[in-house]
Structure 1
Amino acid sequence: AHANDPVGMISDVLAFDEAVGKAVEFAEKDGNTMVIAIADHGNSGLSIGNANTTKGYDTTPVSAYIDPLKKAKMTLEGATSKLKEDLSNKEEVAALYGLSNLTSEEKAQLTKARDKKEISAALSKLLANRANLGFTTGGHTGEDVFLYSYGVDRPTGHFDNTDIAKHMAKSMNINLNELTNELFIEANKAFKGSKVEVDSKDKNNPVLVVTNNKRTVRFPVNKNIAIVNGKEIQMDSVVVQDKKNRFFVSKQAQQIVKNEK
């Protein structure tokens, strides 16, 4: 969806449908399983219809949207992976993406593309135009997303996104507050006896800096890494900063500062 690739979107949805089907099949047999399928956010603002269908859209046949997509043999990622280093086979790659018999105008748009990224953008625009599809963005969108659920205690209705996690936790008898207290400790308490500072040179990416008599460890906020002498150590949890500019770390972060791991 980020690449505005309708063929890729269709392929991924079909694969996802197959995967969810396996989960539902298991839940049917098990009788004690809840299945939830949901997106974290919308993406790309796909619309069936574009400027080509402004007039007469009520008489436009479904084939006008579907047939151009059926001609694709590969997704955008698959097709562009076949590009030669000198980009001399643009039209062959376009054909793999369902764009054969290019018009002079389409060829001109493809010719302007000078690298793989520009070729990908050109191909996706050309296919969307042929299939009468529109996209509002290459990024995230803010509409509500569908919630699919099946089985025991399944959630239904309109939910705030964080309530889904709470519903799942309750179903699994997990106390999220207790878990939070176990997984995250306020930095000044976690590193009592050590020097605790915040490097705010990059305001958007502050770093918690902890120094004791053994070592200095840097913990970038919102990341699950600790940096010791330029070497990154991957942790099991991210470092969190709240609205009061307090930092919270995991027990593993404590161990790293103590040089236990």
Structure 2
Amino acid sequence: MKKSMSFLLLLAILIGPLKAADIENVKPVKNIILLIPDGTSLSTVSIARWLQWYNNPDMPNLAIDPYMCGTVRTFSSNAPIGDSAPTTSCYMTGIPSIAGYVSTHPVQDAANDILPIDSTRAYQPLVTVLEAAKMKYGKSTGLVFTCEFPHATPADCSAHSYNRGKYEWIAPQMAHNDLTVVIGGGTSLLPAESESYLRNNGYSVFKDNLKGMREFKGEKMWSLFSEKEMPYDIDRDTTATPSLEEMTRTAISKLSQNEKGFFLMVEGSKIDWAAHANDPMGMASDYLAFDRACGAALEFAKANGETAVIIVPDHGNSGISLGSSRCSNYSKLTKDQLFGQFAQYKLTSEGFQAMLNSRPASEVQNIFRTYAGFELNDDELKMLYNNKGYKNSPIPLEERAKGPELESLYSGSLSGFIAKLLTSKTCFGFTTGGHTGEEVFLAAYHPEGDVPMGVLTNVDLNHYMCALFEIKGELDEMSNQTFAKHTDVFKGYKYEIVPSTEKNGTPTLVVKSKKKQLTIKPFTNLIQTGKKGTETIKLNSVVVYVDKNNTFYLPSDLAKHL
């Protein structure tokens, strides 16, 4: 047997791949790092790897390559193709859910449910692996991402909602869930009350403050950049915005101070956004930035000896292909023909949009020469000038080309036009601007080789993580104990749901006994007690309100405070 054969391949030959039934018998670890390249189809990884190799002949492989071990079937509770909310939710809770649901039990859709769904638990918040690690073992918890912090994937780890767009519900939950480290986008989305809570509970909060993040010596930190999502890696100002690799290393350095261990989720968020935009450079360059973060996590895990690393997308996106029918004999093209032009792109379509709209039209050709390696021909220049999103066009907006037959060429965003233009110079193809349902890749590292292998489901992956933290089969009961209905918890007590006096506000639950009163607001871990609300109870979880059934979900033993 060749000495160069990898350990994982040797393991597979000797004992065979770990089946779903074996996943729950792995050796436990102290730390888990879960890395999710959002919306990353395998073709995206292939194109990124080729781009890296083309630009760096001594780097033919990605950081994840030695750890590839299988694939994962990712789906919603009632549909084979999912969005980020239910797919990551399933990784975190073990229960498939419906489009838009953030770690929340789905409603039953009996005719379409892929797995059996318990209709009695509809809308119940579900305890996540991250929350369980914190509540059961006192482990530190962290989130790193490049989208805004209440976005679906980070929210799936630490918040609960049947509507992923309800940031006003999700953001305060994430702040009050006592995460140890949060690094990502969304300075404008942190409510004043949430920021005050963080600062009053020992957190340092940095906003667009790279120097502050780098110099911070403590453990508990929120560091946010950009009003909403962070820029693509290739577009970012490196003096003001950290790379995903730096964010990952920073989070690990803070979390690893806890002797009890940690759970960290790292998301390459905007690979998915670029895929929606059919922007191949955005996809490839942000994937490579994500792969460097994987390298940092794997480096720590191998040195630490007590850390498992799991790398898996939540779903595919865009149907991108390396090869397109637009190119004759594309299967015989050389690497120079396939990647020579592509390798000259130095901005995403979003980056081009920002640059074109900030400079006069006289600089158009120079911009494309410098950052794309080509000049626009007359037809392309005409399409640019007539695009409705081009602010500096020499053609006044009211005089630009109109009519249904020109809609696909001239309407829409400037970045959308540029994405099509840049793609037209390549031999890449797209089938859609949305999510796709193929299996996604799985890469993993375990200090003793207990990695999942073969074809898994998203439920299997959750069971694997639970086994790593010795919480096998416990998440359902933890959900029932942590998120019980107020009607059950306070049965026999006098209670009232008081509507909010503010527009779009949430109600308050007031519970009374002969001597005491609890005033319970949703999406926080703080409960006021005493008839005047002068005392505060701090929970180890958040209270969630669901307007669909007018129910507060809270700890099952909360009545003890009455």
TM-score (norm. length: structure 2): 0.36
Question: In structure 1, what residue type is equivalent to 2:354?
Answer: S
Determine if contact 2:282/2:348 at 8 Å carries over to the other structure.
yes
Q: What is the CA–CA distance in structure 2 between the aligned matches of 1:19 and 1:187, rounded to whole Å?
A: 42
Q: What is the CA–CA distance in structure 1 between the aligned matches of 2:319 and 2:290, rounded to whole Å?
A: 20
How much identity, in percent, do the aligned residues show? 34
1:78-89 matched pairs, under 5 angstroms: 78-84=351-357, 88=361
1:21 to 277, 295, 298: 295
| CA spacing shift, 1:95–1:64, aligned 2, 3 Å | same
Q: What is the CA–CA distance in structure 2 between the aligned matches of 1:237 and 1:41, rounded to whole Å?
A: 30
Q: What is the CA–CA distance in structure 2 between the aligned matches of 1:26 and 1:73, rounded to whole Å?
A: 31
Question: In structure 1, what residue type is equivalent to 2:325?
Answer: A
1:181 to 480, 499, 503: 480
Q: What is the CA–CA distance in structure 1 between the aligned matches of 2:316 and 2:376, rounded to whole Å?
A: 32
Confirm whether residue 249 of structure 1 aligns to residue 553 of structure 2. Answer: yes
Q: Deviations over 1:85-138 (max 9, x none)?
A: 587355555445416311222223222311166210111111111111111222
| CA spacing shift, 1:66–1:180, aligned 2, 3 Å | same
Determine if contact 2:365/2:375 at 8 Å carries over to the other structure.
no
Which range moved further: 26-35 or 83-92? 83-92
Match of 2:443 in 1: 148
Deviating beyond 6 angstroms after TM superposition, the runs of 4 or more aligned structure 1 residues are 213-219
1:56 to 329, 334, 349: 329
Runs (5+) with no aligned partner, structure 1: 198-206, 227-234
Runs (5+) with no aligned partner, structure 2: 1-274, 391-411, 499-504, 512-516, 526-540
Determine if contact 2:312/2:443 at 8 Å carries over to the other structure.
yes
Q: What is the CA–CA distance in structure 2 between the aligned matches of 1:148 and 1:240, rounded to whole Å?
A: 37
Determine if contact 1:208/1:247 at 8 Å carries over to the other structure.
no
| CA spacing shift, 1:238–1:97, aligned 2, 3 Å | farther
Match of 1:167 in 2: 464
Determine if contact 1:45/1:137 at 8 Å carries over to the other structure.
yes
Q: Deviations over 1:29-81 (max 9, x none)?
A: 2222211001111111111122322x423322232221121111222233322
Determine if contact 1:36/1:148 at 8 Å carries over to the other structure.
yes
Question: In structure 1, what residue type is equivalent to 2:495?
Answer: S
Question: In structure 1, what residue type is equivalent to 2:335?
Answer: V
1:94-133 matched pairs, under 5 angstroms: 94-95=368-369, 97-98=371-372, 100-115=374-389, 118-133=413-428
Question: In structure 2, what residue type is equivalent to 1:13?
Answer: Y
Match of 2:313 in 1: 39
Q: What is the CA–CA distance in structure 2 between the aligned matches of 1:3 and 1:148, rounded to whole Å?
A: 26
3-state secondary structure, aligned to 1:52: coil
2:495 to 176, 194, 209: 194
3-state secondary structure, aligned to 2:299: helix
Question: In structure 2, what residue type is equivalent to 1:165?
Answer: N
Question: In structure 2, what residue type is equivalent to 1:135?
Answer: F
1:143 to partner: Cα distance? 0.9
| CA spacing shift, 1:240–1:124, aligned 2, 3 Å | same
**What is the count of residue pairs matched by the alignment?**
231
Determine if contact 1:210/1:216 at 8 Å carries over to the other structure.
yes
Q: What is the CA–CA distance in structure 2 between the aligned matches of 1:11 and 1:96, rounded to whole Å?
A: 18
Q: What is the CA–CA distance in structure 1 between the aligned matches of 2:543 and 2:286, rounded to whole Å?
A: 29
1:10 to 268, 284, 289: 284
1:183-222 matched pairs, under 5 angstroms: 183-190=482-489, 192=491, 193-195=494-496, 212=510
3-state secondary structure, aligned to 1:101: coil
Determine if contact 1:209/1:217 at 8 Å carries over to the other structure.
no
3-state secondary structure, aligned to 1:249: strand
Match of 2:304 in 1: 30
> Greater relative contact order: 1 or 2 (C-alpha under 8 angstroms, separation 6 or more)?
2
